[in-house]
Chains A and B, each alone.
Chain A
């Protein structure tokens, strides 16, 4: 297992290196750079004519005149060695300050969503497979197709309405007004949890629906295996039997797609965040693109891809733990 983990870690490092290069290239791709943008904003409508030399001066000031390869190594070196993601030009401060809190809030939403997804879908999928063909099974299937068909933003609106109407929950945001700018405390954390469930449920909804179907299908296959009958014939109690024998294998496709789920959550987050008035990274990413504020955009992209790569690593390790044949190379 140790060897397998180290191999995967090395693989992850290589992937991250390649991804960071790609992110940097993507950052460079849009025509023009922040210097153009800055000059345009500062002087447009003032009647001052800006020459190429002026823009070049801004470039030198911001360090944008160096060759691309050099800037890449400066950038990645600072991130790895000092945790410094560079300068946020538009905010005239460091990237870390700009994205700081938003990173943690985004991660909080991400993990809450993942936990809700798996905690709900896996047991329900197992139950539906065991009770296959029963009224409960059909009911759950209908529910899960509804889940797949309903668009996220609509669900967000509906849930928001009922949460406010019935539970008196705040509308929108991740914090109540009194905690918004307060320093971190236990009370603030609890306030966050109270606000977090709504976006997490919205984001988890379709994944739950999808994963119930996945779990139900693979579990039904696994239940028919001879090894399950054989274990039953040895007198293993049914509850323990279901988890130890078929479920452990049936969970495989869900674990192997954790990375996809993370990816999907990131792509759906901005729409849900817009409806629910959340502060998260997606919105900032969009703004950074528009401003050509490349280090902000780069930092966000890098963090998101790192999360996906890391979750893929985690799913590899989990898979090997679930099925020892994987690490034995059989």
Chain B
């Protein structure tokens, strides 16, 4: 339902042109979940903002970018070509693609009740009257597990607890009836126990409503629970893609391997965690060649630091950008 090809985003800044997202391609199928994983600054959030054309004014999409979205009525939309301020863009935002954010407190306006903001979204996208919209909003709040929804709907965001706010935020995004939900680290700011509840809730809602989801997180553990497919991002490019199960069992890219090793586990309590060494470089000083070579334990001298890796297919349904999987370059077997 969503197909992204060659998405590149650049920003004109005082320090010159920076390109935090380069040649990203992925697709999301109806009813499925794509997990987008990466450290802070890897370009996950910007990528999804581009899908809804929410980038700031100084951002530019490259001419090769193609974002094709199949709407609920079956029509294909070229997202990168929609005019700003057009009706088409407004119905895409919210009505077709919904978005929830990491900070539920900050994503609600503090001066309107939760119900006010829900009714607004429902009326914009479902074209129904005030009373009907309110009934729908109450129903939605009940659906996300908020008890006493008829009272809660008139509360302000600051009158709710963190977990409840995130539930309300999900209800708000879903009330407009999107076919694709983009969840930008929705559980990061929550307690672990509430995290699990919210993940369960999202999985359940996805099944009930049959919507697709892009789930952004830096936590591969969360991805394992919720995503059908996973795309690992590093410095604005997708370094590895594949079915979640395959990628986690048998990571091909050294970065994915590093991320998996960095997950704390109860079985290896006595070992120290092994973090991925070094920091993610700033987009203004992108390394030449493979962007990961500065931190890669297996980097091949004179190849990885010079040539940008192309996307290889080490196994069916897998894609990886790494010279280690290219026989001609590494002299090793690709498998």
Contacts and interface: CB of A to CB of B under 8 A. Distances in A.
Nearest to B108: A227
A194 interface: no
B286 interface: no
B93 A233 contact: yes
Interface string B83-118: 001000111111100110101001111111000010
B54 A229 contact: yes
B90 A237 contact: yes
A328 B106 CA distance: 19
A242 to B, nearest CB: 12
B158 A330 contact: yes
Interface string A212-247: 000000000000011101111111111000001100
Interface core residue of B95, B110, B176 (most chain A CB under 10 Å) = B110
Contacts of A235: 89-95, 121, 124-125, 176
A232 B93 contact: yes
A234 B54 contact: no
Nearest to B48: A233
A77 interface: no
B111 A249 contact: yes
A325 B111 contact: yes
Nearest to B107: A230
A323 B93 CA distance: 27
Contact of B124 (A234, A245, A328): A234
A225 B173 CA distance: 18
B29 interface: no
B94 A233 contact: yes
Interface size class of B (residues with CB under 8 A): 20 to 34
A330 B111 CA distance: 12
Contact of B106 (A226, A232, A244, A249): A226
B99 A236 contact: no
Interface in B142-161: 156, 158-159
Contacts of A232: 54, 93
B93 A325 contact: no
B120 interface: yes
Nearest to A131: B57
Contact of B93 (A234, A248, A322): A234
A233 B85 contact: no
B99 A233 contact: yes
B117 to A, nearest CB: 8
A225 B94 contact: no
A323 B110 contact: yes
A228 to B, nearest CB: 8
Contact of B103 (A226, A233, A248): A226
A324 interface: yes
A328 B114 CA distance: 15
A328 B99 contact: no
A226 B110 contact: no
A324 B111 contact: yes
A227 B98 CA distance: 14
Given A226-B101, A238-B85, A233 B52 contact: yes
A248 B91 CA distance: 25
A70 to B, nearest CB: 51
A130 to B, nearest CB: 10
A232 B90 CA distance: 8
Interface string A171-210: 0000000000000000000000000000000000000000
Contact of A248 (B94, B111, B173, B176): B111
Contacts of B117: 231, 234
Contact of A234 (B94, B111, B112): B94
A229 B53 CA distance: 11
A232 B117 CA distance: 12
Interface in A8-55: none
A167 to B, nearest CB: 39
A230 B99 contact: yes
Interface string B155-198: 01011000000000000110010000000000000000000000
Give the top 10 A-B pairs by smallest Cβ distance, nearest first. Answer: A235-B94, A234-B94, A235-B93, A230-B107, A226-B106, A235-B90, A233-B99, A227-B109, A234-B121, A226-B107
17 contacts: A225-B106, A226-B103, A227-B109, A229-B107, A230-B99, A231-B109, A232-B54, A233-B99, A234-B98, A234-B172, A236-B94, A236-B121, A244-B109, A249-B109, A249-B111, A324-B156, A325-B110
Interface of A: 225-227, 229-238, 244-245, 248-249, 322-325, 328, 330
